[in-house]
Chain A
Amino acid sequence: MRSVRIWFNKTDTAKYISHLDLTRCMVRAFRRTDIPLWYTEGFNPHPHLVFGMSLPLGVEGLYEPLDIRLNDENYPLQRVIDELNRVTVPGIKFIEITEPQNKPLEIFSADYSAQLVGIDLEGIGEKIKEIIANETLTYEKKVKKGGFKTINVTENLKNFEVTEENGGVLLKFNLPAGNDFTVSPVNFCNLLTEKLCRDDLLWRITRHKLLMKNGADFI
Chain B
Amino acid sequence: MLKTKIESILPLVQKPARYTGGELNSVVKNKENVDIRFAFCFPDTYEIGMSHLGMKILYSLINSRENYWCERVFAPDTDMEAVMREKDIPLFALESRDQLADFDVVGFTLQYELCFTNVLNMLNLAKIPLRSKDRGDSLDIPVVIAGGPCVCNPEPLADFIDAFQIGEGEEMMLEFLDLLNEYKKQGKSRSEFLKAAAHIEGIYVPSLYDVTYNEDGTIKEIKATNGAPDVVNKRVVADLDKIFYPDTFVVPFVEVVHDRVVHEIFRGCIRGCRFCQAGFWYRPIREKSVETISEQSQRLACTSGYDELSLCSLSSSDYTKITELLEELLGWAVPQKINVALPSLRIDNFSDELKEKLALVRRSGLTFAAEAGTQRLRDVINKNISESEILDTCRKAFVGGWTAVKLYFMIGLPTETDDDVVGINVLSQKVVEEFYSNPDKPKGKGVNVSAGVSSFVPKPCTPFQWEPQDTREELKRKQKLLLDTCTSKKITFRFHNTDLTFLEGVFARGDRRLSDVIEAAYNNGCTFDSWDDKFKFDTWLQAFETCGLSTEFYANRRRSYDEVLPWDHINSGIRKQFLICENEKAKNAETTKHCRQQCAGCGSNKLNGGKCDALSQNMV
Contacts and interface: CB of A to CB of B under 8 A. Distances in A.
A173 B285 CA distance: 65
B22 A13 contact: yes
B298 to A, nearest CB: 13
Contacts of B16: 16, 57-58
A25 B23 CA distance: 10
B304 A25 contact: no
A202 interface: yes
A48 to B, nearest CB: 14
Interface string B497-529: 000000000000000000000000000000000
Interface string A93-136: 00000000000000000000000010000000000000000000
Interface centre among A17, A27, A58, A91 (most CB of B within 10 A): A17
B4 interface: yes
A18 B17 contact: yes
B20 A31 contact: no
B253 interface: yes
Nearest to A32: B305
A89 B28 CA distance: 13
Contact of A87 (B21, B305, B306, B336): B305
A39 B335 CA distance: 13
B305 A17 contact: no
B581 interface: no
Contact of B305 (A29, A39, A57, A117): A29
Interface in B326-361: 336-337
B300 to A, nearest CB: 11
B490 interface: no
B305 A21 contact: no
Nearest to B17: A16
B307 A31 contact: yes
B15 interface: yes
Interface string B296-326: 0000001111110000000000000000000
B10 A16 contact: yes
A42 interface: no
Nearest to B16: A16
A201 to B, nearest CB: 9
Contact of B22 (A12, A31, A87): A12
Nearest to A39: B337
A117 B21 contact: no
B291 interface: no
B307 A58 contact: no
B254 interface: yes
A42 B15 CA distance: 32
Given A16-B16, A21-B254, A202-B8, A89 B22 contact: yes
B103 to A, nearest CB: 21
B230 interface: no
B182 interface: no
Nearest to B5: A202
Contact of A28 (B7, B10, B305, B337): B305
A71 to B, nearest CB: 13
Interface string A6-49: 00000011101110011011011111100000010000010000
A17 B253 contact: yes
B305 A13 contact: no
Contacts of B433: none
B22 A117 contact: no
A23 to B, nearest CB: 11
Contacts of A76: none
Interface in B1-38: 4, 7-8, 10-11, 15-17, 20-24
A27 B253 contact: no
B170 to A, nearest CB: 27
Contacts of B302: 32
B163 to A, nearest CB: 34
Contact of B255 (A13, A24, A58): A24
B98 to A, nearest CB: 15
B4 A117 contact: yes
A13 B307 contact: no
Given A16-B10, A16-B17, A57-B16, A25 B253 contact: yes
Contacts of B251: 25, 28
A31 B336 CA distance: 9
Interface in B256-304: 302-304
A147 interface: no
Contacts of A90: 22
A27 B305 contact: yes
A9 to B, nearest CB: 15
A108 B16 CA distance: 28
Nearest to A190: B11
Contacts of A24: 253, 255
Contacts of A89: 22-24, 253
Interface centre among B10, B21, B305 (most CB of A within 10 A): B305
A13 B20 contact: yes
Interface in A55-73: 57-58
Given A16-B17, A202-B7, A30 B305 contact: yes
B23 A21 contact: no
B56 to A, nearest CB: 16
9 contacts: A17-B253, A21-B17, A22-B253, A25-B253, A28-B251, A32-B305, A58-B10, A186-B11, A202-B8
Given A24-B255, A27-B307, 11 more contacts: A13-B20, A13-B21, A18-B254, A25-B24, A28-B24, A28-B306, A32-B302, A58-B16, A89-B23, A90-B22, A202-B8
Q: Which 3 residue pairs are nearest across A and B when measured between Cβ atoms?
A: A28-B305, A13-B22, A31-B305
